[in-house]
Amino acid sequence: MIVSALLTSVGINTALCVLFLTLYSILRKQPSNYEVYVPRLLVEGTSKRRSHFNLERLIPSTGWVAKAWSLTEEELYSLSGLDGVVFMRIITFSVKIFTFAGIIGIFVLLPVNCWGNQQQDIDVGNFTNNSLDVFTISNVNSGSSWLWVHFCAVYLVTGFICLLLFYEYKDISSRRISYFYSSKPQPHQFTILVNSIPTSSSSISDSVESFFKELYPSDYLSHVVVRRTSKIRRLLNEAKNMYRKVSQSRPGPTQQKNKHGGFFGTFGQKYSHIERYQKRLEDIEENVRLKQSEASLAGEVPARAAFVFFRSRFAAATAFHLQQSVNPTRWITELAPEPRDIYWPFFSQSFMRRWISKLVVVLVCILFTIMFLVPVVFVQGLTNLTQLENLFPFLESILTIKFVSQIITGYLPSLILQLFLQLVPPAMDFLSTIQGYISLSDIERSATTKVLWFTVWNVFFASVFSGSIISMMSIILDPKIIPGKLAIAVPAQASFFITYVVTSGWTSVSSELFRIIPYIFNLITGLFTSPDDEFDVPCMPYYRDVPRVLFFGLLGITYFFLAPLILPFVLAYFCLAYIIYRNQFMNVYAPRYETAGKFWPIVHNSMIFSLVLMHIIASGIFALKKLSLASTLMFPLPVVTLLFNEYCRKRFLPIFIGYSAECLIKKDREDQNDATMNEFYNNLVDAYKDPALIPIQYSSNNDSLSSPLISQLNAEEQCNSIIG
Amino acid sequence: MIVSALLTSVGINTALCVLFLTLYSILRKQPSNYEVYVPRLLVEGTSKRRSHFNLERLIPSTGWVAKAWSLTEEELYSLSGLDGVVFMRIITFSVKIFTFAGIIGIFVLLPVNCWGNQQQDIDVGNFTNNSLDVFTISNVNSGSSWLWVHFCAVYLVTGFICLLLFYEYKDISSRRISYFYSSKPQPHQFTILVNSIPTSSSSISDSVESFFKELYPSDYLSHVVVRRTSKIRRLLNEAKNMYRKVSQSRPGPTQQKNKHGGFFGTFGQKYSHIERYQKRLEDIEENVRLKQSEASLAGEVPARAAFVFFRSRFAAATAFHLQQSVNPTRWITELAPEPRDIYWPFFSQSFMRRWISKLVVVLVCILFTIMFLVPVVFVQGLTNLTQLENLFPFLESILTIKFVSQIITGYLPSLILQLFLQLVPPAMDFLSTIQGYISLSDIERSATTKVLWFTVWNVFFASVFSGSIISMMSIILDPKIIPGKLAIAVPAQASFFITYVVTSGWTSVSSELFRIIPYIFNLITGLFTSPDDEFDVPCMPYYRDVPRVLFFGLLGITYFFLAPLILPFVLAYFCLAYIIYRNQFMNVYAPRYETAGKFWPIVHNSMIFSLVLMHIIASGIFALKKLSLASTLMFPLPVVTLLFNEYCRKRFLPIFIGYSAECLIKKDREDQNDATMNEFYNNLVDAYKDPALIPIQYSSNNDSLSSPLISQLNAEEQCNSIIG
């Protein structure tokens, strides 16, 4: 790739970003788009729909940037919990790394690289015609002592990153502990989930009670047996849809407000319609109530799982950490997730079935990751011009235009790849759900890891080894040749990854701001439904964004000494991400759960992996450049890095698994004199009630249900200036 | 190798075994050898030295075989604890396997192998001149359908072994639990060891007390801070040696008994001698007392570790399972070992130092295992005839005799290898001691694993790949070619391993009975000391014998379908071991600790490894024999075996790590009404007192100390008939 091509690409993508940001700053001010761009503020009531038209709406503004910039970490913490803070920490951490690495890369390594003359085709006169290889390590002469500069840079940056990783881990674990100390009594702290309860002659509920009363006579409080509610859940969904239909067929709330007296009066033609729906809805509700009472009367077979409540956090932790039963595959205990975090349709199956489903999912994941490129390549093969002309004959005239055909042949394959890639996070999320996790947060964390490995394999390694699965597998299966192969293949892809950062990175983060898909979805649904329908505030899809951000970190780390030119672009990506994600946390996403920073170990591991990968490549490069001493001296670095990782695992990881006895007992003592605790204990059972078993009341009480909407609309005139 | 050579080898070794057994049955009846052959009975007082001479003593007898045979498992359990039972289980388990595999091997596989004619040089007329290869799978024609018989045999035997492994694991874990249920309250059940206690302004003792009193106000009992006592221990050893010298210089107890009145009266010439020793002894004792009082007054820096005692087993288990401190590298808790099992000079260092020493030991172990053959080959190279003649010129005349030179060149290298191999278990044991384990049992278990891997690498793989480290490493580093290389190399060594079982196996087990080294040691010391000196009953060196027995199991499993001829010899080995080890448990070894079966997981893992190794070899063989379908169909077998192993890990392994809450609480309840518990609690502190801090009294109280010896001698005339 030549410099001018890179400059063109940077130019186009900068223009695209600016366009996105400008569009965003205009569109977010349109009331019809509030649900897309400020759903969080809308629901919280801090932002109201302003129907008055004014010119300001059409002028792009930068107020939101200043607001996002000035957000403090404490504010972010109160908005999005520790998970939001941890996510932003990934970005600030990366900014720090790449500022440091960038200074070394641009001011030290880049001149050294340009100084060499291994690449013969340098055209000094015409700078922009030079190959980008001039700026990479490939240009340094073989055996040149200048390579020691790269060697030192690798050591220096590794040391810096490890130091930063240590302090970051330390800081986040102390934040996690202080989060625990400052938290009010929360149901999940007093609860464990028991699985694989053995079936006996007595009912599940009785055997749970007798087992835990026997073991923890003073600490056992009560329990809730988990029921199988998939049927009820299906009926509930049906009821909800029906209710939506009913309320859509009904007059809009503004009209309704004016005509409180006669409901069915003026809408004769819709009458029969609504009545029919109303009837159906009542039928379904009756059915639901029947099933619910059946389930609570244990008429249906309950799942062999139960939530068990204890009087103290310490007792719950004890029951979690100790093996309960003589048979380790029975009475398996887990820490209960937060009530809002529970994935209710979870596998409440026996030990064996959960274990097997986990194995199967892991296997499917591995196959999916390895084989992913096969169908993509196949589909890409289908989309050549002749095929297209055969499939869609009417396009023939357009396809013969050279420009169009170039666009199609050039962009269609990569568009297909991108579309397939977009499907990966949801697919991995789905795989994690059937893996048997009981909480949404566990599912998302598991999906995050899966997506991360998927990206590393299918984007990094597939690009490096030009996508042939067989050649990739043969390299992986022959560990001796890995450094050598990487040393040849990785630098060759430097220019590809520089443009990848610019195109894929910058675009992905600005489209995150722009929220294209929700925007389009909103446009379409806006045509059919009234804008005042209920809507859910989205929650941050960590399983999609964490791997993406981490992958750019990996690219930056592995390429920093090979092609330092990548660093400014990576840095720009992270700066953009810094502003945009902060803005999204403020306006768009509401937290759905609080893992209190459990995402950080994934980040740490990913960084360590990036470092070791860089060391392997460096070792291979130095061997290739005939500087075998440097190649040998590179060997201690991954070892020390892995030891450092091992130390961190011992020093910090336990904090992210469970709280220590010291913390738990301290918190328990604090509560002892709290008079409200009795009430809290009484509410525990309700907190872990399956939402499917909560009585529903759509049909007979329509007006009161729509009241929140009405009150929301009444406040319509109250303007506020949050949307700048 | 030809059949006649094998027959010769079998003949010689059978003769050797018979000789050993005969010699043993005579020698054990000589009173001077009681300390070697029946030390356990001697100390227990069930066997007494009979000084009356009778002819019976010189006639070999088989009574001991019958006694060993008739020992029930319950008797063995009461004699040697669950560890002894588990050790014998390894042998009975192997006998079962190899009976089953032997029937298949000899009656099905062997005829199939002989039927083939791949090996062209069969001499039908002269059976004994045939190569042993005729009986191996190498003789089956390539691509022959008869190979499916081998295929089925592999599946069948794997299934049988897995089934047996499952029931054995189940049985031993239930024995472990019933051992716990039936045990009396034992100090280690109520105790944890705390390590890495943070240094603060207050003393270690105070901070332990305040920390645990804070966390476990109702369950905390007391604690003992571990002192650094290496100096005192050195002094104590000195005192002991001095005391031995004094008592040896003194008149023999029989003489002393007759002359109770005047001690120094009749031994004028020894007087000054004894007085000098006596003086030295008193000095040392004074010194010890000084150091001891210093240590208890905390004048010396205490180790940052303490034993903490709890009122209940459950509380101790809770403190072990839960992370205690906010910082996971502080207040690290371990289950306390039995008081007799503690390795007192343990590393009571900080978290970091223990961790680093562990890493270093693991590294040294790996290097030692991989590099072991280098010095051996070097030393073997030194021992050629010319070198010997140069070193010892006086041997020249003998070395020229052809027979002698043949013996030397033939046997010396293997003798050197054997000598080096004998050093491995103690070396590994030493490495484990500095690894930071706090109990002898942990040290021995760790050493067992180390010795096992060492043997597999240096005997199995080194023999198979003819000892070149570089070729071995290159194969290990290239996993794709492993099955192919193994398939070529392993069958080629069949005859070597058959003779290995006969020579090394049979000899090692009969020399275990004969106890050559202790016998020689006893002969030598018998010349200098009186036979009535104190002596320790040896304890079973599990770290030497478990790997040895398991290695023969591995040989049997990997070779059963390649060369079924090995099976009768392996079976004979295990039958011999069955009788001999039972005899040794009865007469020689006393248990030094009780891990309650913690050795079994090592056995289980080793068996699984053997199975998977066999599958890899089988897959390679079938590919080599051009039966690629069988090779492919072999693939699911290791996967299923590993899954089975994973299931066993989940189902049984937790039982071997800690007891469940159910067990602990049940036992605690039993003790609640026990009036003796208060006394037990009071004695806990003394149970975990460092023996180096117990006051000693050698010098001023000589007569009372030697009294046990006297009483033992007084009972000399009491004969009993236990020694048959």
pLDDT at A490 over 90: no
- Rounded Cα gap, residues A120 and A141, in angstroms: 11
Lowest mean pLDDT among A433-437, A660-664, B55-59: B55-59
How much is the pTM? 0.85
Residues B654 and B695 in one domain: no
Average pLDDT, chain B: 81
Please state, in angstroms and rounded to a whole number, the distance separating the CA atoms of residues B698 and B521: 27
Q: In 10 A of CB B81, how many CB atoms?
A: 20
Average pLDDT (A237-246) is: 76
Question: Between helices A506-514 and A516-528, what is the axis angle to 10°?
Answer: 30
Instruction: Kindly indicate whether the ipTM for this predicted assembly is greater than 0.90, answering yes or no.
Output: no
Beta-carbon separation of B654 and A359 below 8 A = no
Is residue B323 located within the same domain as residue B459?
Answer: no
A321–B661 C-beta distance less than 8 A: no
The residue among A323, A647, A667 with the most chain B CBs within 10 A of its CB, best to mutate, is A323
Give B549-607 pLDDT, tens digit per residue: 999 999 999 999 988 999 999 999 999 999 999 999 988 888 888 888 999 999 999 99
Confidence of residue B350 (pLDDT cuts 50, 70, 90): low
Confidence of residue A716 (pLDDT cuts 50, 70, 90): very low
Neighbours of B74 (CB within 10 A): 9
d(CA B334, CA B371): 34
Q: Note whether residue A402 is domain-resident.
A: no
For the record, the structure tokens of A449 come out as: 């890891």
Q: Are the C-beta atoms of B547 and B451 separated by less than 8 Å?
A: yes
Q: Which two tokens stand for residue B650?
A: 């989940």
Contact B661 A324 (CB under 8 A): yes
Q: Could you tell me if B553 and B94 are in contact, meaning their C-beta atoms sit under 8 angstroms apart?
A: yes
- Same domain for B611 and B683, yes or no, is no
Please give the Cα distance from A634 to A640 (Å, whole number).
11
- The per-residue pLDDT for range A147-174, each reduced to its tens digit, is 899 999 999 999 999 999 999 999 999 9
**B40: which 2 tokens?**
């356990």
A652/B328 touch (CB, cutoff 8 Å), yes or no:
yes
CB-based burial of residue A668 (10 Å sphere; 0-12 exposed, 13-18 middle, 19+ buried)? middle
Name the residue in chain B with its Cα closest to that of A170.
B327
Please check whether residue A471 is in contact with residue A536, taking contact to mean a CB–CB distance below 8 angstroms: no
In whole angstroms, give the CA distance from residue B643 to residue B649: 10
The token pair at B119 is 């090996």
Rg of chain B on CA atoms, in Å:
29
How many CB atoms are closer than 10 A to CB A197?
24
| Model pLDDT for residues B80-127, shown as the tens digit of each residue | 889 999 999 999 999 999 999 999 999 999 888 888 776 655 555 555
Asked if B326's CB is within 8 angstroms of A177's CB, the reply is yes
Residues B662, A324: C-beta atoms closer than 8 Å: yes
Q: Which residue has the higher pLDDT, A301 or B557?
A: B557
DSSP string, B242-268: HHHHHHHHSPPHHHHHHT-S-SSTT-H
Q: Which two tokens stand for residue B452?
A: 């096992």
User: A225: which strand partners?
Assistant: A306
| DSSP 8-state code for residue A696 | -
**Element (DSSP H or E) covering residue A527:** helix A516-528
A323 CB near a chain B CB, below 8 Å?
Answer: yes
Mark whether B655 and B680 lie in a shared domain: no
The residue from A629, A659, A689 where one domain ends is A659
**A388 is a domain residue:** no
How many other C-beta atoms are found inside a 10 Å radius of the C-beta of residue A684? 21
Reported as a pLDDT band with limits 50, 70 and 90, residue B713 is very low
CB contact under 8 A, A661 and B479: no
* Percentage above 90 pLDDT, chain B: 27
Query: d(Cα B236, Cα B288) in Å, to the nearest integer?
Result: 7
Residue A282 neighbours by CB under 8 Å, 6+ apart: A699, A700
Provide the pLDDT for residue A502: 86
Q: Average pLDDT, stretch B383-387?
A: 67
DSSP, collapsed to helix, strand or coil, labels residue B2 as strand
Tokens matching residue B181: 């249920």
> Is B210 among the domain residues?
no
Residue A547 lies in a domain: yes
Q: Answer whether residue B487 shows pLDDT above 90.
A: no
- CB nearest to A479's CB, from B477, B658, B663: B477
Provide the shortest C-alpha distance from residue A376 to chain B (in Å): 28
**How far is Cα A583 from Cα B326, in angstroms, rounded to an integer?**
34
Q: How many CB atoms lie within 10 A of CB A653?
A: 16
Question: Which element (helix H / strand E) includes A333?
Answer: strand A332-335
The three-point CA angle A409-A414-A420 to 5° equals: 130
Tell how far CA A188 is from the center of its chain: 23
Q: Beta B332-335 vs B220-225: how paired, if at all?
A: unpaired
d(CA A79, CA A83): 10
> What whole-number distance in Å separates Cα of residue B299 and Cα of residue A485?
62
Angular region, B186: left φ>0, alpha ψ -120 to 50, beta rest: beta
Mean pLDDT score, B536-559: 91
pLDDT number for residue A130: 61
Of the candidates B322, B478, B663, the beta carbon closest to that of A478 is on B478
Helix (H, G, I), strand (E, B) or coil at A553: helix
CA quadruple B167, B169, B175, B181: dihedral, nearest 10: -120
On whether the CB atoms of residues B441 and B337 are closer than 8 A, the answer is yes
pLDDT above 70 for A368: yes
Query: How far apart, in Å, are the Cα atoms of A319 and each of A229, A332, A446, A590?
Result: 27, 10, 24, 32
CB-CB contact of B433 with B329 (8 Å): no
For residue B426, is it within any domain?
Answer: no
Across the interface, whether the CB atoms of A654 and B318 are under 8 A apart is answered: no
More confident of the two residues A295 and A345? A345
The verdict on residue A596 lying in a domain is yes
| Enclosing domain of residue A505 | 3-186+437-659
Question: What is the DSSP secondary structure assignment for residue B460, as one 8-state letter?
Answer: I
pLDDT at B266 over 60: no
Please give the average per-residue pLDDT across A584-610, as a whole number.
Answer: 92
* Structural domain contains residue B254: yes
Count of structural domains, chain B: 2
Q: What residues in B contact A355, CB-CB < 8 Å? A: 647, 650
If asked whether residues B690 and B621 sit together in one domain, one would say no
pLDDT tens digits, one per residue of A176-202: 999 999 988 889 999 999 988 888 777
Does residue A484 share a domain with residue A569? yes
CA quadruple B135, B136, B140, B146: dihedral positive or negative?
Answer: positive
Residues A118 and A245 placed together within one structural domain of the fold: no
Which range, A20-24, A209-213, A512-516, B288-292, has the best average confidence (pLDDT)? A209-213
Is the pLDDT confidence value at A607 over 90? Answer: yes
pLDDT tens digits for A277-288?
777 777 777 777
Spatial CA neighbour of B83 closest among B598, B657, B655 = B598
One domain, residues B495 and B578: yes
Residues A530 and A644 in one domain: yes
- DSSP H/E element including B223: strand B220-225
Distance in Å, alpha carbon of A667 to nearest chain B alpha carbon: 12
Rounded Cα gap, residues B90 and B153, in angstroms: 23
The verdict on A207 and A341 lying in the same domain is: yes
Contact B548, B508 (CB under 8 A): yes
- Answer whether A665 sits within 8 Å of B479, measured CB to CB: no
Mean pLDDT of all residues in B192-205: 84
Report the distance separating Cα A503 and Cα B673, nearest Å. 76
Q: Which residues contact B255 (CB under 8 A, 6 or more apart)?
A: none
3-state secondary structure of B225: strand
Q: Are residues B115 and B159 part of one domain?
A: yes
Question: Which range in A511-520, A600-609, B330-339 is most confidently predicted, on average pLDDT?
Answer: A600-609
Q: Which of residues B550 and A503 earns the better pLDDT score?
A: B550
What phi-psi label fits residue B81: left (phi over 0), alpha (psi between -120 and 50 degrees) or beta? left
Cβ–Cβ under 8 Å, residues B369 and B465: no
- If you write DSSP's letter for every residue of B109-129 in order, what string do you get? IHHHHHH---S----SS-GGG
The pLDDT assigned to A315 comes to 92
Distance from the A103 Cα atom to the nearest Cα atom in chain B, whole angstroms: 35
In angstroms, the separation between the Cα of residue A136 and the nearest Cα of chain B is 32
Q: Is the per-residue pLDDT at B492 higher than 70? A: yes
State residue A522's pLDDT score: 82
Residues of B whose CB is below 8 A from A214: 665
Residue B218 · residue A218 · CB < 8 Å:
no
- Is residue A148 in some structural domain? yes
Do A133 and A220 belong together in one domain? no
CA distance B344 to B229: 9
